[in-house]
Structure 1
Amino acid sequence: MSRMQARDIKTPEDARRIVEERGLSHVKVGMFDIDGVMLGKYMRRDKFFSALEDGFAFCDVVLGWDSKDELYDNVTFTGWHTGYPDAPLKIVPDSCRELPCEGDDMLLFLAEFDGPAEGLCPRGLLQRVLERGRGMGYEAFGALEYEFFLFQETPESVREKGFRHLKPLTPDMMGYSMLRSSVHSELYHELLALSEAMDFPIEGLHTETGPGVLEAAIGVDGALAAGDKGALFKVFTKVWAQRRGLMATFMAKWSPDYPGQSGHIHLSLREIDSGKSAFFAADKPHQMSDVQRHFVAGQQKLMPELLAMFAPTINSYTRLIPGFWAPTEATWGVENRTTALRVIPGSDKSQRVEYRLGSADANPYLALAAAIGAGLYGIEQRLEPDEQVEGNAYELDHPEHQALPRTLWEAAQRLRASEAARELFGDAFVEHFAATREWEERQFRRHITDWELDRYFEII
């Protein structure tokens, strides 16, 4: 009998068999929190086998702390008032993957929250949105693109330097450089090999404009699989880099001197019954079907209300300024990279829309849920988009209703007040996520920046 392959695992019985076949004493189990941070542990095989059938539990503090393990003081689902009880999780058997960095046999499985906590689970949220689409007769497909900077630094050295004067992998602005990718070809080959081994295949990898910055385009898949691939890509790109004495960052913007880092989302819908593209219409302008037009309209209308799900950190808003390849209003255009939504005409196979607003620091599951959910809302409501932008969107005046929130605090208030968000994602998620973003803003206000010291210390 041939050796079982991780990506062929579909059922709990398959998962049990592959662990037994490989003689593993432990496997790794991980989940993603509200910020897209991967958390987990090694699990002994007998415990894992039990969890496959009955689930397992994890302290729900992972839904009650921020990216620095500081406890939220303004969420109701969990906290000191609840005593931080366990929350149930379930193993996702078909998420099984090899872990090349831990030998030939070690396996990784994803888990997602169950029970009441499922309402706050990022992966669960995406699944609920996709079920909504299936109820409308559509299957959603997605592909994520990420820009990230590589540094010749370690977790220790960046802290010793106070995150200042860091040394990028390479100098200068050299987008699409064959020189850089050839000189450092071993690193590129390693990352490409990792992406194949862990099933987040990179279909395009190149330098972007900036010192040490790369862009990776992950292959298209069903939207839930695309979320898994994007989330795993971010985590294990960091693992790969640190194991080689490097560091990768997915901050939206690490330096005011260079463009920010995007997390663009390519999306399409296919009809479940016919298997045909729901977006492609050969006889329509730009091959945009009525369904795609309504989808884009929903994304445009809800963009200001859902911005916190695409731009979830204080740092996200330093990227959303004119002239730096990031949109500043809820605009759309055909093959226009200055707009927030870029319609890409093509064929039954390739007709799609690119949600260019997303930044690299966004939780992939939440960004996909928001981008798809807004589009489905537009189809349900038969919304019509505003007039498309032709030319440079940064130089044009736009209607007030297209303006995006300028701060995380404002974005959180827009999300909290959004009836559409509550209808799409549920009150529990909206209240919890908005509260966590408000916490993030309040944490920021407690600190004094270098800019403030330089500007005010002596002269005021």
Structure 2
Amino acid sequence: MRQAGEETGVPLSNQEIVKLVSERKPACAKIGVFDLDGIFRGKYLAADKLRSALKKGFSFCDVVLGWDSNDQLYDNISFTGWHTAYPDAEARLLPDTLRMLPFEGGIPLILGEFTGRAEAVCPRGMLRRVLDRAAGQGWKVKAACEFEFFVFDETPQSARDKGYRNLRPITPGNFGYSMLRSSVHSEFYQELWSTCQDMRIELEGLHTETGPGVIEAAIQVDDALEAADKAALFKTILKILCERRGWMATFMAKWSRDVPGQSGHLHSSLLDAGSGESVFFDRGDKLHMSERMRWYVGGQQALMPELLAMVAPTVNSYTRMIPGFWAPTSATWGYENRTCALRVIGGSASSQRVEYRIAAADINPYLALAAAIGSGLWGIEQRIEPDPGIEGNAYEQESPERALPSTLWEAAQRLRASEAARDLFGSEFVDHYAATREWEEREARKAVTDWQLARYFEII
């Protein structure tokens, strides 16, 4: 069964898609959009309705842009709410994103994105606008994401019954790059690999990381918008495969104080749209960094404190950013230096790129890539020179001038105040998104944690 991008490399036409769906039993497809937290929201759609949606667009209740990851309604935004009565927002289907779901008998899946007024706050649409900015300079952006995730021998019900305490990972101990662990669970690894392959989420690598039940997946490089689609889909697909096995996966930035956090590193590079040559590579430079690559890194470094809320989007994100746990704590860069927030990777024209290491696995890939790429483009436009690259342990060479926000609330305020963010992403997005992060922090402050009880219950 041919799908978009297979065999001929030519996507199916709208008519072919409708015919494909109509001949299935049941005659329906799945469609969905990604919300501000990167959660996939969607539904089944009948073939007749799909025909209309492909031709004219469709409507999707705008509440998905007006509630949090727990479906709780924001009370501090103007875009939507009780004051607007949560109307439908305009959206379009993206036929080029057509994929088949192997675990649902090959049912078609098509991504959508918001249009009209909602496009200003649509995560995918916002990344697309950043990439249009690059295209206006004659550049194509390549990107790739890699994720670490923990897998548990738990179900959503058992995890809730346990209060998310004493959860059992699928494997004990550390065992980084373990051939033993991956061979024992080879059926799962191979199912994940083949499912991703079938869905055009091609993996470059898959291995155990150091920690109980932790795995890392690297997704192959692609055009940046497609890379974001793949990364966002990967998180959902991985969770589905785990839960179908009676397991559970988490992409939290840090689920336990006793183990390192989970990264979601972002790789990006620029190519000349005409020639396909690397914009970043300069054979004559000691690090093979072109002038534009220096400015790109300079922009990422300069704006990282202002855009951190888009890359560290949850309260939990900030528990990962402590020295010695493979997570950067300030806006530093270095050549092949994994203690820095930005790691320049060199060697050849095809490999010259920047790894945005501050990101954790809890990112919304659309927003995080928009922040990483947008700040780099801004750096080129402004010709921002980076600090001297860090050699050795960046944790021991931190500068107060490059300090990052330490809480989500602080990060949201920095985003609100950022003129560069408003230029890159639009004021409507900045105000809306900052408000959603302020809400998230307010919700967290309501919690009475185990730590608070143990610390204060008796002694205070």
TM-score (norm 2): 0.98
- Alignment check: 8 A CA contact 1:11 1:94 kept: no
Taking only the aligned residue pairs, the percentage that are identical comes to 63
Q: Which residue of 1 aligns with 2:124?
A: 123
Given residue 285 of structure 1, which amino acid in structure 2 is its aligned partner? K
Q: Which residue of 2 aligns with 1:243?
A: 244
Given residue 121 of structure 1, which amino acid in structure 2 is its aligned partner? C
**Structure 1 residue 381 corresponds to structure 2 residue 382:** yes
- Alignment check: 8 A CA contact 1:252 1:359 kept: yes
Residues 265-274 or 427-436, more deviating:
265-274
Q: Tell me, what secondary structure is at the counterpart of 2:229? A: helix
Task: Using the TM superposition, give the Cα deviation of residue 7 of structure 1 relative to its aligned residue in structure 2, in angstroms.
Answer: 3.6
Q: Distance in 2 between matches of 1:288 and 1:6?
A: 36
Q: Distance in 1 between matches of 2:283 and 2:12?
A: 38
Q: Tell me, what secondary structure is at the counterpart of 2:381? A: helix
Alignment of 1:81-92 (within 5 A): 81-92=83-94
Q: Distance in 2 between matches of 1:309 and 1:14?
A: 38
Q: 1:72-117: CA deviations, max 9, x gaps?
A: 00000000001111101100000000101101x3110000001000
Q: Tell me, what secondary structure is at the counterpart of 2:323? A: coil
Task: Using the TM superposition, give the Cα deviation of residue 182 of structure 1 relative to its aligned residue in structure 2, in angstroms.
Answer: 1.1
Q: Distance in 2 between matches of 1:96 and 1:237?
A: 18
Alignment of 1:6-85 (within 5 A): 6-8=4-6, 9-20=11-22, 22=24, 25-85=27-87
Given residue 375 of structure 1, which amino acid in structure 2 is its aligned partner? G
Given residue 392 of structure 1, which amino acid in structure 2 is its aligned partner? N
Q: 1:301-354: CA deviations, max 9, x gaps?
A: 000000001100000000011100000000000000000000001211111110
Q: Which residue of 2 aligns with 1:329?
A: 330
Q: Tell me, what secondary structure is at the counterpart of 1:286? A: coil
Q: Tell me, what secondary structure is at the counterpart of 2:303? A: helix
Q: Tell me, what secondary structure is at the counterpart of 1:94? A: helix
Task: Using the TM superposition, give the Cα deviation of residue 275 of structure 1 relative to its aligned residue in structure 2, in angstroms.
Answer: 1.1
Given residue 431 of structure 2, which amino acid in structure 1 is its aligned partner? E
- Alignment check: 8 A CA contact 2:181 2:208 kept: yes
Alignment of 1:360-379 (within 5 A): 360-379=361-380
Q: Which residue of 1 aligns with 2:2?
A: 4
Q: Distance in 2 between matches of 1:437 and 1:144?
A: 23
Q: CA RMSD in A?
A: 1.0
Q: 1:4-23: CA deviations, max 9, x gaps?
A: 32444354234234324546
Q: Which residue of 2 aligns with 1:224?
A: 225
Given residue 161 of structure 1, which amino acid in structure 2 is its aligned partner? K
Unaligned segments of structure 1, at least 5 residues: none
- Alignment check: 8 A CA contact 2:3 2:98 kept: no
Q: Which residue of 1 aligns with 2:451?
A: 451
Q: Tell me, what secondary structure is at the counterpart of 1:237? A: helix
Number of equivalent positions: 456
Q: Which residue of 1 aligns with 2:345?
A: 344
Q: Distance in 1 between matches of 2:12 and 2:387?
A: 44
Displacement over 3 Å in runs of 4+: 20-24
- Alignment check: 8 A CA contact 2:97 2:110 kept: yes
Alignment of 1:11-410 (within 5 A): 11-20=13-22, 22=24, 25-103=27-105, 105-398=106-399, 400-410=400-410
- Alignment check: 8 A CA contact 1:335 1:344 kept: yes
Q: Distance in 2 between matches of 1:335 and 1:14?
A: 47
Task: Using the TM superposition, give the Cα deviation of residue 201 of structure 1 relative to its aligned residue in structure 2, in angstroms.
Answer: 1.2
Q: Tell me, what secondary structure is at the counterpart of 1:40? A: strand
Q: 1:398-440: CA deviations, max 9, x gaps?
A: 1x22000000000000000000000000001000000000000
Unaligned segments of structure 2, at least 5 residues: none
